[in-house]
């Protein structure tokens, strides 16, 4: 503890002031400011990818968010209906009785029947 106090004392002697600390938030172009901005933080932390040409078919005004999210997940082959869950217990499509619930079966083959 004495080491920490000595370091603080050294910093004060070097010109560290005792003003009140202020919070600064990093914004665009590495500019720090006192007001937090959710949108700028999102832009700084997310991994950006180019916008795909079918973006508006999924994310459009009036779309039901639940279905947009599920469609987006399906397009990226991240649905978890049966293929990944199969390691616990095999599952088949209740509508077709027998086919494994894969993305291709649920979205393509099932609709062609």
- 17-31, 57-71, 72-86, 98-112 — which is least confidently predicted? 98-112
Query: Global pTM?
Result: 0.40
pLDDT of residue 74: 83
Write out the two tokens for 93: 């499509």
pLDDT of residue 84: 56
Domain definitions of the chain by residue range: 55-112
35-64 per-position pLDDT tens digit? 999 998 988 888 888 888 888 999 999 999
CB 34 within 8 A of CB 24: yes
Q: Do the beta carbons of residue 88 and residue 94 sit within 8 Å?
A: no
């Amino acid at each position: 503890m004495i080491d920490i106090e000595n370091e603080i004392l050294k910093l004060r002697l070097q010109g560290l002031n005792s003003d009140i600390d202020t919070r600064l938030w990093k914004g665009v172009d590495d500019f720090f400011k006192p007001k937090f901005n959710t949108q700028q933080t999102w832009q700084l932390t997310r991994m950006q990818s180019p916008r795909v040409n079918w973006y508006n078919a999924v994310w459009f005004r009036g779309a039901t968010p639940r279905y947009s999210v599920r469609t987006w997940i399906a397009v990226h082959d991240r649905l978890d209906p049966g293929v990944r869950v199969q390691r616990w217990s095999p599952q088949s499509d209740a509508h077709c009785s027998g086919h494994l619930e894969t993305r291709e079966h649920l979205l393509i083959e099932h609709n062609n029947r």
